[in-house]
């Protein structure tokens, strides 16, 4: 049977149509798709629509509206006018206000034709013609009124668009971009509802499972391997590796018991201390310390739990908020290498880029490339953005993030910065530095060294068309982010005025 089977391997670049070929084989030779499978696809189709509209952006919508104005003055009987209905329906979709975050990925609304009829009455006057309209002078007046209505709406939309500050969050994976977005929701969008908090429980449980799976799995792969302090815990490790690793795992009480006991084992603790040698999420210790609370049936995540929870960002998510009557739109995008090709679609007409880097990653390597240091990857990425010809007039606010974890690593002394960046051995803290009074001298020296590595890139061009504004941040500290964002608002306002040549 094996020798008689033809095995075909589908290869090709992303979005070349490989999966569509597989679907065609199912349609042609495997009885197609069941009713259940068709229903399950509805959410994916809705997400396709939402992503298309988000990526189209206001610029495309405005262009379509301008095209619509031309079509609107055609004679009512002209068959080309039918196209106007499609353009205006698309425009209504494009103008829908999305407040999407990675915590509510599937909640974007898809409007029905009825909702379009209710929200834009003049749209259908244009699409279908005014009932009973007379030819000649009356028809010309009717067309003029419709054209004026569109012009007024376009002017209103343009004013709103120009008054909005659009901020694009960029940075390598796991640098803290999505945590910044969560902080904006806490500070400016009434935080998270009870429903959203409950929905986060599964993600938090998954963080715990991933953490204990990764740590216990690394015990045997590190060089030299690390044994358990208590040999009787071997059965607990076997349970975690064999049972808890299953995709449909439902987190029974015994899982939490095994996890708590293993986390107390000194062998597991020593493996955690060497987590820079393998890939472990930053929130591992935080949630493993909280297992006794999270396992309770009445557990509700706190704001800090939500901030710490790690969920991979895939795609583009927009969060809207208002600060002192000023509209902000913040765009969060995935930072992994395979997500970066989507960034260019967000570059159009942004007010400022907020580049986020994890300073604590100086002794870590990428998940997608174990030969590349994470901090050097971040520096290379910053350089490519800074020198991008499409971004030469957009200034960058640099968030030097994870200062708390950087301080912990420097003070622990187990991973020296100079072992990964030889130039640090000769570096001296600049005399104009203003370190936090709580910082130890070595911590201050490390944080300013990393800052100056980025500033060296930004000052190399010397064109004076855009600037870099560095800030030390801890994304899980709400007060820190509140203070830093308030400091940045004047900078963002100046960028906005310069964007429209008002400064």
Question: Does residue 24 lie within any of the structural domains?
Answer: no
149-157 long-range Cβ contacts below 8 angstroms, 24+ apart: 149/122, 150/65, 150/68, 150/69, 150/72, 150/122, 150/126, 151/69, 153/65, 154/62, 154/65, 154/66, 154/69, 157/58, 157/62, 157/65, 157/95
- Decide if 127 is inside a domain: yes
Q: Is 157 in the same domain as 175?
A: no
Query: Is there a domain that residue 237 lies in?
Result: yes
Dihedral (C-alpha) 304, 107, 342, 344: value to the nearest 10 degrees? -90
73 and 201 in a single domain? The answer is no
Q: Are strands 326-333 and 316-323 parallel, antiparallel or unpaired?
A: antiparallel
Residues 338 and 479 in one domain: yes
- CATH, residue 234: 1.10.400.10
Tens-level pLDDT at each residue, the chain (503 residues): 767 788 888 888 878 888 899 999 989 898 888 888 888 888 888 878 777 666 555 555 555 544 444 444 444 444 444 444 444 445 444 444 443 333 333 333 333 333 333 333 333 333 444 444 455 677 888 888 888 888 888 888 878 778 889 998 999 889 999 999 999 999 999 999 999 999 999 999 999 999 999 999 999 999 999 999 999 999 999 999 999 999 899 999 999 999 999 999 999 999 999 999 999 999 999 999 999 999 999 999 999 999 999 998 877 888 999 998 899 999 888 766 666 565 665 566 789 999 999 999 999 999 888 899 999 999 999 998 898 887 888 899 999 999 999 999 999 999 999 999 999 999 999 998 888 888 999 999 999 999 999 999 999 876 777 899 999 999 999 999 999 999 998 888 888 787 766 54
136 and 201 fall within a common domain: no
- Give yes or no: residues 254 and 202 share one domain: yes
The total of structural domains in the chain comes to: 3
Residues in CB range of 480: below 8 A, 6 or more apart: 473, 474
Domain boundary among 145, 162, 179: 162
In sequence order, which ranges of 105-233 are alpha helices (DSSP H)? 113-119, 121-128, 137-162, 177-188, 194-218
Both 491 and 384 in a single domain?
yes
- Distance (Å, rounded) from C-alpha 165 to C-alpha 353? 11
Q: 134 with 250, same domain?
A: no
CB 133 within 8 A of CB 317: no
On whether both 122 and 209 belong to a single domain, the answer is no
Under 8 Å between Cβ of 352 and 167: yes
Lookup: tokens for 85: 């209905």
Query: What pLDDT does 86 receive?
Result: 45
Residue 110 lies inside a defined structural domain of this protein: yes
Q: Which of 266, 289, 308 is the last residue of a domain?
A: 308
What is the CB-side half-sphere exposure of residue 452 using CA atoms within 13 A?
16
Q: Domain of residue 434: give its range.
A: 165-191+313-499
Residue 115 counted as domain residue: yes
Last residue of a domain, one of 260, 285, 308: 308
CA distance 149 to 391: 36
Q: Which residue is listed with tokens 């988000």?
A: 54
- Do 213 and 261 reside in the same domain of the chain? yes
Confirm if 167 and 351 have CB atoms less than 8 A apart.
yes
Asked whether residue 269 is domain-assigned, the answer is yes
Would 46 be classed as within a structural domain? no
Quick one: 183 and 238 in the same domain? no
How far apart, in whole angstroms, are the C-alpha atoms of residue 380 and residue 346?
A: 20
Q: What is the CATH number of the domain that holds 421?
A: 3.40.50.300
List active site positions.
174, 179, 310, 332, 336
Shared domain check, 490 and 425 = yes
Q: What is the pLDDT of residue 35?
A: 82
Tell me how far apart the alpha carbons of residues 42 and 493 are, in angstroms, rounded to a whole number. 41
The answer to the question of residue 241 being in a domain is: yes
Put simply, whether the predicted model's pTM sits higher than 0.75 gets the answer: no
Query: Do 321 and 444 fall into the same domain?
Result: yes
Going by C-beta distance under 8 Å and a sequence separation of 6 or more, which residues neighbour residue 62? 154, 157, 158, 161
């Amino acid at each position: 049977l094996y020798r008689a089977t033809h095995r075909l391997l589908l290869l090709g670049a992303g979005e070349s149509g490989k999966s569509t070929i597989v679907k065609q084989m199912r349609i042609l030779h495997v009885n197609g798709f069941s009713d259940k499978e068709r229903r399950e696809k509805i959410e994916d189709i809705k997400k396709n629509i939402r992503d298309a509209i988000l990526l189209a952006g206001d610029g495309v919508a405005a262009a379509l509206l301008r095209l619509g104005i031309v079509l609107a003055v055609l004679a009512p009987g002209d068959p080309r006018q039918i196209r106007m209905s499609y353009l205006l329906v698309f425009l209504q979709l494009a103008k829908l206000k999305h407040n999407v975050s990675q915590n509510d990925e599937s909640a974007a609304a898809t409007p029905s034709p009825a909702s379009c009829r209710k929200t834009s009455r003049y749209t259908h006057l244009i699409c279908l013609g005014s009932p009973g309209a007379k030819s000649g002078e009356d028809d010309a007046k009717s067309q003029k009124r419709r054209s004026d209505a569109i012009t007024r709406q376009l002017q209103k939309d343009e004013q709103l668009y120009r008054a909005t500050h659009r901020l694009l969050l960029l940075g390598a994976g796991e640098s803290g971009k999505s945590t910044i977005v969560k902080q904006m929701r806490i500070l400016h969008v009434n935080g998270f509802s009870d429903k959203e908090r409950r929905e986060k429980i599964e993600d938090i449980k998954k963080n715990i499972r991933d953490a204990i799976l990764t740590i216990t799995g690394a015990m045997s792969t590190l060089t030299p391997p690390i044994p358990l302090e208590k040999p009787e815990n071997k059965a607990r490790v076997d349970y975690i590796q064999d049972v808890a690793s299953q995709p449909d795992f439902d987190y029974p009480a015994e899982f939490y018991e095994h996890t708590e006991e293993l986390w107390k084992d000194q062998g597991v603790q020593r493996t955690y201390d060497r987590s820079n040698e393998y890939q472990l999420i930053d929130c591992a210790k935080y949630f493993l310390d909280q297992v006794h609370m999270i396992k309770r049936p009445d557990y509700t995540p706190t704001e800090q739990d939500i901030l710490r929870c790690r969920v991979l960002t895939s795609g583009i998510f927009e969060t809207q908020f208002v600060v002192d009557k000023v509209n902000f739109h913040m765009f969060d995008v995935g930072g992994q290498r395979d997500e970066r090709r989507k960034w260019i679609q967000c570059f159009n007409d942004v007010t400022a880029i907020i580049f986020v880097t994890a300073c604590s990653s100086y002794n870590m390597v990428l998940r997608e490339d174990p030969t590349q240091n994470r901090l050097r990857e971040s520096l290379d990425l910053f350089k490519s953005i800074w020198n991008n010809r499409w971004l030469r007039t957009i200034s960058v606010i640099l968030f030097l993030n994870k200062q708390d974890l950087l301080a912990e690593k420097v003070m622990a002394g187990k991973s020296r910065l100079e072992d990964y960046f030889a130039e640090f051995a000769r570096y001296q803290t600049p005399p104009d530095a203003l370190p936090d009074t709580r910082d130890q001298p070595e911590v201050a020296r490390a944080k300013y060294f990393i800052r100056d590595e980025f500033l060296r890139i930004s000052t190399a061009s010397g064109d004076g068309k855009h600037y870099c504004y560095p800030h030390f941040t801890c994304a899980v500290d709400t007060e820190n982010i509140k203070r830093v964002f308030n400091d940045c608002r004047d900078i963002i306002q100046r960028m906005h005025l310069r964007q429209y040549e008002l400064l």
